[in-house]
Amino acid sequence: MRNKLLIASILGGLIASGYALTFSAPVANAGGLKNAKIYPKNTNKKAIKKDMKALSKALGVKCDYCHTMKALDKDSEMKEKARDMMRMMKAANKTLKAQGFEKSITCKTCHNGQKIPKY
């Protein structure tokens, strides 16, 4: 059931807006994350990597913009900024949903391939 929800949320997001972060859709029996403050700790590694690829593309960066590649769980200043953005986005999408809007925002909505959004 949860797997189905995750797939539905990924596909829904892909169709609606390029991609969807899978913040609140953990997959049972997954490998588990070592240092997750936003994603549920039991998030499937494949699912988070898919999200990470999408958000890297949205910002026009490679993984090492935020990560030490030898230890992806290690924190960095940029990772903390990204977490703040995830919190902001999650809150905005919750508000949109509560107000009856169908679409949600993603990193790409604002960043559109830029590290710092250009308006």
**Minimum distance between the CB of residue 65 and ligand HEC, rounded to whole angstroms?**
5
Unique residue bearing structure tokens 């250009």: 118
Which helix (H) or strand (E) segment is 89 a member of? helix 77-98
Q: How many CA atoms within 13 Å lie on the side-chain side of 47?
A: 30
| Listed residue (23, 24, 21, 45) closest to 33, CA to CA | 45
**Minimum distance between the CB of residue 100 and ligand HEC, rounded to whole angstroms?**
19
**Minimum distance between the CB of residue 48 and ligand HEC, rounded to whole angstroms?**
5
DSSP 65: G
| Listed residue (72, 71, 68, 70) closest to 51, CA to CA | 72
Q: Where are the beta strands (DSSP E) in 1-119?
A: none
Size of the site for ligand HEC (CB under 6 A): 37
Of 44, 47, 89, 104, the one binding ligand HEC by CB under 6 A: 89
Of 33, 44, 47, 93, the one binding ligand HEC by CB under 6 A: 33
> Does 54 help bind ligand HEC (rule: CB under 6 A)?
no
> Does 48 help bind ligand HEC (rule: CB under 6 A)?
yes
DSSP 23: T
> Can you give the binding site for ligand HEC, defined by CB under 6 A?
33-39, 48-49, 52-53, 55-56, 59, 61, 63, 65-67, 72-73, 78-79, 81-83, 85-86, 89, 105, 107, 109-111, 115-117
